[in-house]
Structure 1
Amino acid sequence: MRFLRHHRIQVTLAVALAFILATPFSAVLLAWLPWSVVALCLAAAAYAWWVRDRADAWLAVSLAAIFVVGRLYFNAVDGPTFTLRAAALTAYFMLHEVLLIGPWSRFSPRVREWIKHRRHLGVTAFLLALLHANIVFNLYFGLDVVAMWQAVFTFFGTTALFIMAVLAVTSWDWFQKHVPWKTWAVVHAAVFIVYLIEIWIVTGIWKLAGDVPAWTYPAFATFIVFWVLVAPWGFAPRLFKVLNGWKQLHVLVYVAYASVVLHVYFGRAQVQGPWAEWTVLGLFALVLGSHTAGWVRNWNEQGAWSVVRSASDGWTDVCAISDLQPGEGRRVDVNGFPIALFLHEGRVLAFFGYCAHQKGPLWQGKIVQGFLTCPWHGWQYSVKDGKGPEGLHDQVPFYETKVEGGRVFVRVEKGKECKGYGCGACSCRA
C-alpha cells in the first residue's frame, strides 16, 4: 500500500510538471493561467486530504487562496504577468521558510514539528519557481537562451532553479535509503561540472556583450569554494567525521538561496526602490543570523554532551521502571538531551530521541518486528544496536541500560561517538 501511495504521489507531481512545462507554449493555458493554477492546487489538496496527508492539503489550499485573493485584488494585471509575479513571490518567501525551520527548530519544539514538512515546502517552492521561469522565458525572451542569459540577474535565477531541481528530484526517502555514498559523490561532481560549464558559457556571452559586472567574480568564487568544501570528494572528509551523501548534496540549497538573493536584488529590488532593497537584505540577514544562532546553540549542546560522556561511569538515573509501559515510548533527558526509552520483552531500550532522517520524535514511535519505527516517515532502527535494516546505512546512537532498586539508569559511555549521522548528540556534526 505504501508503494502504491508513493506511485500516486509521483503521478501527481508528473501532472504538475507537465502543466508547468507546457504553459509557455499554450495560448489557452496562458489566458486562463491564474485560475488553472488554482484548479491544480485544489485538485492536489483534495488528493492529499484523501490520502490523509492534512499538512499537504492545507499547503495546497493556502496556495490556492493566495492566487484567488491576489487575482481578485490585482484584477487589472493580465493573467500571465500576475501569475509569474505571484509564483515568484510565493516561492521566494517559501524558500525562506524552508531555511528558517532548521535553526529555529533548535529553540522551539513546535517549529521542530515542521521539519517533516520541510521537503514538501522545498519541492513546492521549486515548482512555483519553475512556473515563474517558464512564463518569463516565453514572454520576455521569446524562448531564446542567449537573450535570457545576457541579463546578468537571470543567470543567477536559473542557477538557483537548476540546483533546486536537483534537490527536488532527489528528495524522495528512497534516494536517502538506497543510493550508496560513492554514487552521491558522482552526482555531486556531475552537478558541479554542469555549473562550471554554465559559468564558462555565460561569461562568454557577457564578454561578447561587453559587460561583465565586477561583483559576479567574487560571487562565482564564493559558490565554487563552498561547493568544494561540502562535496564528498572535496574537503568534507576533513570537516566531518561521518559523511552522508544525500545531506552533502542538499546543503547546496545555500548556493541556491544566495543565487536567489542576487537574482531578486539586482533584477527587481533596485527597480522597486529602497523598501524592496531593504526587504531583501533584511530577510538575508534574518536567515544568516538564525543559522549563526543555531550553530552556536549546537556548539554549546556538543560541549554539554561531552561533559556527560566524560563522567566517571556514565550512568544516569532517568526514571522509575514503573514509568515504562510495554509498547509505549517515553522521553527522558540526560543533561538536556532527549533519549527515547522503551520496555520491550522485559528489556529497557534506550535510543537517541530524534530520528537520523528528519529529526522525528522516536519516543512516539512503535517497535515492529524488532525495529523501532519512526512515526514521521517510517525509518527503522534495530532493538539490538540502533542500526537500520540490512543493506541500509541508517543508525542512531543506542545506549546501555540497567535497572537497580526500581530505577532505570542509562549509560553514555566515555568517548562514545555516533556511527550514524544526523543524531545531534556526538562529534559527527552531521
Structure 2
Amino acid sequence: MSATYRPVSWNHNKIVYDAILLIAVAVYLWIFIQVSPALHPTAAQIDGDILRMRAYGSCAFLMLSFILCIGPLARLDPRWLPVLYNRRHFGVLTCAVALMHAWYVLGWYFAFSPVDPFVALLSSNTSFARIAGFPFELFGILALAILLVLAATSHDFWLSFLTPPVWKAMHMSLYAGYTAIVLHLALGPLMAQANAALAIVVAFSVVSVAGLHLAAAVQGAAQDRDVAQAAASSPWISAGLISDLTEGRGRVVRVKGGESIAVFRHGGRISALANACAHQNGPLGEGRIVEGCVTCPWHGFQYRPEDGCAPPPFTEKLATYRVRLEDGHVLVDPRANPPGTYVEPVVIAGDAR
C-alpha cells in the first residue's frame, strides 16, 4: 500500500509471476519459430517474417483467451486466485505481443507500398459487400486499439482519475476486443487457410472462455439461492462454525443481491467488513490480517477490522457489519453500517490470544 503513485510496484510474488509469464511466452515463441518448421515441412517453406507474424499473433490470442478464463476459474477454484491478483501485468504483456504481431504484418505486407503503410492497411481491402474477402484487418485494428487503451490505463492513477466505475466499465471492453480478434481470425486466416489445427485451437479457446463463464454464473446463481433461502428464515446469515474460521484469515459470506462480506478471526475476536477493497474491489476475505489490519491480497491495501478504516495517512473506508455468536456458530447481520462505523469485535470465549 502506498500514499503515492509508483510506475510499477513489485513484490516477491509479482516478480516470480512475471518471470514465469515471460519465460512461458519466450518458450512458446521459440517453439513456434524454431521447432515447428522442423516438425512440419510446409512450415519450413514459409518466410521467416510470416512465421514470426503467426507466432506473435497466435501467442497474443492464446494469452487473451487465458486472461478471460482467469476470473471464472478463480470463482470456481480458489487455487487460481494468485493468477487473478496479477492479471494486469498479464494484460500489458499481451498488448506488447500483439504489437509485435502488427509490426511484422506492416513490415511484410506493406513495407513496399507506394503510400504510407498505415494508409495502405486501411485502403488495400474494401470488399465490405461479401464475407469472403471482407477486410478482416479492421477487426484486428479494433482489438489492438482496445488492448492499447487498457494497457495504457492499467496504472492506479487512471483508476483514481477516471473513478472505479468508469475504469471498470472501460476495462470490460476487453470482451469486445476478444470478439474482434475472433472475427479477425474467422474472416482472415481461417477462411484463407485450410488449417485444421488453427480452427481447433480457436474453437477450443472460444468454447473454454464461454463455458467457464457459464459454469461460474451457474455456481453463483446457486449460491445466491442458498443465501435467499437462509435470509427467509432469519435476517442474520451464518458464516459457519467458530472452528471454521482460521486465526488471521478471512471467510467470505455472500448476501442477497450479489454482495459479499469478509469475516475475520483475529486475536481471539471476530469482525466483519465489506469484502470489496476500495482500491480495485479486490477480495478482502481472501486476504489476511497483517499487523492488526485486514490486508487485500491484490495490492496490499489495509483496513482496521473493527471500523473498516485504512490506517493513517490513508483515508479509504469500508462498510462494517455486526457479528454475534450462537451455539458455536458465527452469525452476521447483512445490513451494512455506514463506511467507517466502529463495531465492537465479538470475543471468542476461551480464546486467550
The equivalences for 1:116-265 within 5 A come to: 116-142=85-111, 143-150=116-123, 151=125, 152-176=135-159, 178-181=160-163, 244-265=165-186
The superposition leaves residues 43-69 of structure 1 with CA deviations (integer Å, 9 ceiling, x where unpaired) of xxxxx8989610111111122222333
Report SS of the residue matched to 1:341. Answer: strand
Residue 53 of structure 2 is matched in structure 1 by: 84
Report SS of the residue matched to 1:53. Answer: helix
Equivalences, count: 312
- Preserved contact between residue 5 and residue 157 of structure 2 (Cα < 8 Å): no
Alpha-carbon separation, structure 2, partners of 1:367 and 1:173: 22
What is the Cα-based RMSD across aligned positions, in Å? 3.8
Q: How far 1:395 moved relative to its partner?
A: 6.3
Alpha-carbon separation, structure 2, partners of 1:107 and 1:322: 20
Identity of aligned residues (%): 27
| Consecutive unaligned residues in structure 1, runs of 5 or more | 11-47, 185-243, 420-430
The superposition leaves residues 67-87 of structure 1 with CA deviations (integer Å, 9 ceiling, x where unpaired) of 333333237454433322211
- Identify the match of residue 331 of structure 1 among 243, 251, 259: 251
- Identify the match of residue 289 of structure 1 among 200, 211, 214: 211
Q: How far 1:159 moved relative to its partner?
A: 0.4
Q: How far 1:175 moved relative to its partner?
A: 2.8
- Identify the match of residue 401 of structure 1 among 312, 323, 338: 323
- Identify the match of residue 334 of structure 2 among 413, 416, 420: 413
Structure (1/2) with the larger helix percentage: 1
Report SS of the residue matched to 2:266. Answer: strand
Residue 61 of structure 1 is matched in structure 2 by: 23
Quick one: structure 1 residues 282 and 331, their matched pair in 2 at CA, closer, same or farther if it must change by over 3 Å? Answer: closer
Residue 351 of structure 1 is matched in structure 2 by: 273
Residue 128 of structure 2 is matched in structure 1 by: none
The superposition leaves residues 336-358 of structure 1 with CA deviations (integer Å, 9 ceiling, x where unpaired) of x77431325x7521235565736
When the two structures are superposed, what TM-score results if normalisation uses the length of structure 2? 0.73
- Identify the match of residue 341 of structure 1 among 264, 277, 284: 264
- Preserved contact between residue 252 and residue 261 of structure 2 (Cα < 8 Å): yes
Quick one: structure 1 residues 367 and 49, their matched pair in 2 at CA, closer, same or farther if it must change by over 3 Å? Answer: closer
Q: How far 1:114 moved relative to its partner?
A: 1.7
Residue 362 of structure 1 is matched in structure 2 by: 285
- Preserved contact between residue 115 and residue 359 of structure 1 (Cα < 8 Å): no
| Consecutive unaligned residues in structure 2, runs of 5 or more | 39-43, 126-134, 340-353
Quick one: structure 1 residues 4 and 397, their matched pair in 2 at CA, closer, same or farther if it must change by over 3 Å? Answer: closer
- Preserved contact between residue 399 and residue 410 of structure 1 (Cα < 8 Å): no
Alpha-carbon separation, structure 1, partners of 2:81 and 2:162: 28
Report SS of the residue matched to 2:76. Answer: coil
- Preserved contact between residue 386 and residue 398 of structure 1 (Cα < 8 Å): yes
Q: How far 1:162 moved relative to its partner?
A: 0.5
When the two structures are superposed, what TM-score results if normalisation uses the length of structure 1? 0.61
The superposition leaves residues 1-26 of structure 1 with CA deviations (integer Å, 9 ceiling, x where unpaired) of 9799943x49xxxxxxxxxxxxxxxx
1:376 matched to 2:298? The reply is yes
1:97 matched to 2:59? The reply is no
The superposition leaves residues 394-419 of structure 1 with CA deviations (integer Å, 9 ceiling, x where unpaired) of 666532113467x46332336x5998
